[in-house]
Amino acid sequence: MPFLVFLIIFSLSFYLYYKVKYVRSRLPMERKLLSGKSSIALGLFVALFGINQLLLFDTTVTYIVAGIFIVLGFASAWAGYKSYRYHIPFAKEEAEQNR
């Protein structure tokens, strides 16, 4: 369980890190790339939080809410991953043009 709490805090800190970088960035493709990364981190945070709640409590309501958190978290992480992979070439091209 402490390892799961460490992963939850780790993913939340990466989410905050990428959001700060997103706000400070001026390049549009870099912003989309950072948005994808932050979506991955937030999705992992929500999914890991759901898994943690599932392991801590054993009520029917907890199973339902934790299941929703896990599904939505992994769906958000998957969408963020797809967005990140899509925007990588555009961000590289944009970075080369702005050198």
Query: What single-letter amino acid sits at 86?
Result: Y
Q: pLDDT for 15-45, tens place per residue?
A: 999 999 999 999 999 999 999 999 999 999 9
14: nearest Cα among 42, 33, 50: 42
pTM for the model: 0.93
What sign for the dihedral angle of Cα 6, 37, 17, 41? negative
Average pLDDT across the chain, whole number: 95
The model's confidence at residue 98, banded by pLDDT at 50, 70 and 90, is: confident
Asked if the model's pLDDT at residue 90 lies above 90, the reply is yes
